[in-house]
Structure 1
Amino acid sequence: MFDRRRTGHVTLRQLEIFEAVARAESVSRAAETLHLTQPAVSLQLKTLAEAVGHRLTEPVGRRIRLTQAGRDLADACRELAAVWSRFEARLDDVAALRRGRLRVSVVTTAKYFLPKALGRFVQLHPGIEVELEIQNRDGVLERLRERLDDIYVMSAPPQDAAIEAESFLPNPLVVYAPRGFAAPPNATLQDLAKERFLLREPGSGTRMAVDEHLARLRVALPNRMTVGSNEAIKQGVAGGLGLAILSRHAFSEADLPEIRILDVKGFPIEREWHIVHWRDQKLPAAADAFRRYLLEHAAELRGATETSPAARPRRRSPRG
Structure 2
Amino acid sequence: MPTLLKRLQRVTPQQLRAFESTARLRSVTRAAQELHVSQPTVSIQLREIALAVGEPLFETVGRQLRLTQAGEAMQDAANEITGCWQRFETRMAEVHGLLRGRLRIAAVTTAEYFVPDLLGPFAAAHPGVDIELTVENRDRVVDRLQRSRDDLSVMMLPPDELPLDTFPFLDNPLVVIAAADHPLAGKRLTLSRLAKARWLMREPGSGTRMAAEQHFARVGFEPHIAMSLGSNEAIKHAVSAGLGLAVVSRLAVADIVDTPSPARGPQLVQLKVSGFPIRRQWLLVWRRDQPMSAAAKRFVSYLRESRPSRASLAH
- TM-score, structure 2 as length reference: 0.65
The one-letter amino acid of 2:251's match is H
Displacement, 1:132?
0.7
Listed as ranges, the matches of 1:230-269 within 5 Å are 230-254=232-256, 256=260, 257-269=266-278
**Residues 64-83 of structure 1: CA deviation (Å, up to 9, x unaligned):** xxxxxxxxxxxxxxxxxxxx
Counterpart of 1:301 (choices 284, 309, 312) is 309
Summarize deviations over 1:97-137 as a string: whole Å, max 9, x none.
2x210000011111100111111110111221011111111
Match of 1:40 in 2: none
Other structure's SS at 2:193 match: coil
Asked whether the 8 Å contact 2:90–2:101 carries over to 1, the reply is no
The number of equivalent residue pairs is 219
Report if aligned partners of 2:202, 2:231 keep a CA contact under 8 Å in 1. Answer: yes
Q: Aligned partners of 2:146, 2:90: CA distance in 1, in Å?
A: 32
CA contact (8 A) 1:94 1:286 kept: no
Q: Is the 8 A contact 1:95 1:285 kept in 2?
A: no
Residue in 2 that maps onto 1:169:
170
Higher radius of gyration, 1 or 2: 1
What is the aligned partner in structure 2 of residue 226 from structure 1?
Answer: 228
Deviations 1:244-303 (A, max 9, x none): 1010111132453211111110001111111111112221111111112222222x3333
Distance 2:285 2:96 in 1: 22
Deviation at 1:161, TM superposition (A): 6.5
Q: Which sections of structure 2, spanning at least 5 residues, go unmatched?
A: 1-88, 261-265
Q: Does the CA-based 8 Å contact 2:105-2:132 persist in structure 1? A: yes
1:136-178 per-position Cα deviation (integer Å, ceiling 9, x unaligned): 1110000000000001111001224621112111111000111
Taking only the aligned residue pairs, the percentage that are identical comes to: 45
Residue matched to 1:20 = none
Question: Within the alignment, does 1:111 sit opposite 2:120 as a pair?
Answer: no
- C-alpha distance in 1, partners of 2:296/2:239? 37
Q: How does 1:1-320 map to 2 (within 5 A)?
A: 90-92=92-94, 95-97=97-99, 99-160=100-161, 162-183=163-184, 185-254=187-256, 256=260, 257-298=266-307, 300-304=308-312
CA drift of 1:88 comes to: 10
Q: Distance in 2 between matches of 1:161 and 1:241?
A: 38
Counterpart CA distance in 2 for 1:102 and 1:94 is 18
**RMSD of aligned Cα (Å):** 2.2
Give 1:179 deviation, angstroms.
Answer: 0.9
Instruction: Give 1:222 deviation, angstroms.
Output: 1.9
Name the CA distance, whole Å, in 1 between partners of 2:91 and 2:140: 37
Q: Counterpart of 2:4?
A: none
Give SS of 1:116's match.
Answer: helix
Structure 2 CA distance, aligned partners of 1:294 and 1:238? Answer: 34
SS of the equivalent of 1:141 reads helix
Question: Quick one: distance in 2 between partners of 1:296 and 1:179?
Answer: 39
What is the identity, as a one-letter code, of the residue corresponding to 1:304?
S
Tell me if the contact between 1:152 and 1:275 (Cα under 8 Å) persists in the aligned partners: yes
Distance 1:88 1:252, change over 3 A: closer
